[in-house]
Structure 1
């Protein structure tokens, strides 16, 4: 987790020279902190290392300065267009998302999700509030299996499919999931984790084969969600019966998905020394959680 001295630094909003300087400080500090974790695990770190794969280069190479004068509407339209192109090019799927206004009930549920995280997992709450700068509701005109997304071409923006059946736990799931992608994008801007990141294999969250780098992202996101749901269920007085039922159902499903993602990466991933450290932490947490949630599920 990012240390205390970085709490006040803006990570995304880069609208002035001073903020751009602070953004640079934030990234450098995060890099040093991540390097320290790697070194403690026996990995050497090259201070000049700047590995930027396709999924994250645009997020952390000063791209935002080129678009500071663009309107929010432009960003939303551009994101949805790019997301549709990604799905068409990579998965041969047509997806059409339309931006809609966030209703009051959705705002209440999102705020409650945040407050629950603040109680049960304050580190995750703080990270989400640093990395997620905008939340937008969208309507899926194509009736696909989409439910949320984020991407480097609008780093910090999270788009969520409108669903009348959702409660605070569903939004908690989504915030942990998408902020996990943002967090890993930053890490991957400095260290390569997979030598064969573009190889494809079966993914627990997609129907079609997915890049191994995407499966690594899925494993990290799933671990975060499972950890958050476990912590919620360990304090049952915080939630009502519907929220508890939702949390239990999601935890059962996601924990199984996490196991599948780990197995796929174990069988197919060619990890770098940095990737081995990162992936081993996921496996260790998964094994520990397996014992901890026996009584929950």
Structure 2
């Protein structure tokens, strides 16, 4: 998927939230995944009608579960078999229902989570550190963070609930939060850090930003040299430039969320008592450092130049507010 759909260049080439654009991009992406799964299903002769029915469903889905997205990435090693048809049929049936909002994962042990965590965290004695029964302090923190998110930036909050299906809380320090492309729709959050409402608020904004840029990247490459290594200003060692671009995108999203929060709830809001003003200034400084690194090393495509201009234009409000 590399061609930008008609009338969607604007939503792709901006750091801002375009909910209508995101809805269309998400539907196109998930329909593509669904159709590829259907094509990978081996059916015997005389079952073409069943295949046509499945394909018709695949063309109309609005979303897919992280499990289904992960299954696509598993195909090279683990092909689908004919007896996977009931599973795929149920996946497509569920995807025809209303898009669910982001919710903590409380289901059984899942292979898609296990596989993602193997790449996201260091191996440990606890192969499956998923927290199913959320402690009270974490539940309260989640409620406060959600309230702050929806109050500060309603459009981004709606985008969060469109793109993210599961909040997977894990007991696995030092990781704080993560997104993995192979389980698009799932956000992984370190449970202890998430007990702080400001941390959790920023992590929800952060990981929704990663989802939003990953979705855009399915349609438009922003860098000519995405795999080139660059010194990451916020992390030790060299990182691929695609990761530096992601850092710039999500840092702007977090700083913008706090700027908007300051406008609607400078006092008496859900984050009272938390140092969000200090955090805002730190995010603005980090964003400037990441942009300088990008400008030194990145080779931009046309879409990338448009996205970089959008970053420049939208950073002005943040810098002005920090300066004041």
For Structure 1 versus Structure 2, the TM-score category normalised by the shorter chain is 0.7 to 0.9
**SS, match of residue 160 in structure 1:** strand
Mark the CA change 1:95 to 1:203 in structure 2 (over 3 Å): closer, same or farther: farther
| Counterpart selection for 1:283 from 309, 312, 321 | 312
Looking at structure 1, the residues matched to 226 and 193 of structure 2 have their Cα atoms a distance apart, in angstroms, of 37
> What corresponds to 1:207 in structure 2?
236
Looking at structure 2, the residues matched to 60 and 192 of structure 1 have their Cα atoms a distance apart, in angstroms, of 22
Looking at structure 2, the residues matched to 282 and 157 of structure 1 have their Cα atoms a distance apart, in angstroms, of 26
Instruction: State yes or no: 1:176 paired with 2:213.
Output: no
Please, what TM-score do these two structures have when normalized by structure 2?
Answer: 0.67
Please, what TM-score do these two structures have when normalized by structure 1?
Answer: 0.73
- Tell me, yes or no, if the aligned pair for 2:176 and 2:193 is still in contact at 8 Å: no
> What corresponds to 1:133 in structure 2?
165
Rg larger in structure: 2
Instruction: State yes or no: 1:263 paired with 2:292.
Output: yes
Shifted more, 216-225 versus 58-67: the winner is 58-67
| Residues 118-170 of structure 1: CA deviation (Å, up to 9, x unaligned) | 22211100000011110111112xx54x2110111111111111226842221
Shifted more, 209-218 versus 251-260: the winner is 251-260
* Aligned 1:183-198 pairs, distance under 5 A: 183-198=212-227
Looking at structure 2, the residues matched to 26 and 167 of structure 1 have their Cα atoms a distance apart, in angstroms, of 31
> What corresponds to 2:137 in structure 1?
105
> What corresponds to 2:273 in structure 1?
242
| Residues 150-192 of structure 1: CA deviation (Å, up to 9, x unaligned) | 1111111111112268422211100111111111111111111
- Tell me, yes or no, if the aligned pair for 1:193 and 1:275 is still in contact at 8 Å: yes
**SS, match of residue 195 in structure 1:** coil
Shifted more, 158-167 versus 211-220: the winner is 158-167
| Counterpart selection for 2:178 from 145, 149, 160 | 149
- Please report how far the alpha carbon of residue 82 of structure 1 lies from its aligned counterpart in structure 2 after TM superposition: 3.0
Instruction: State yes or no: 1:76 paired with 2:113.
Output: yes
* Aligned 1:7-156 pairs, distance under 5 A: 17=54, 20-23=58-61, 73-84=110-121, 94=122, 96=124, 98-101=129-132, 102-140=134-172, 143-144=173-174, 146-156=175-185
- Tell me, yes or no, if the aligned pair for 1:204 and 1:260 is still in contact at 8 Å: yes
Please give the root-mean-square deviation of Cα atoms over the aligned residues, in Å: 3.4
Looking at structure 2, the residues matched to 167 and 202 of structure 1 have their Cα atoms a distance apart, in angstroms, of 30
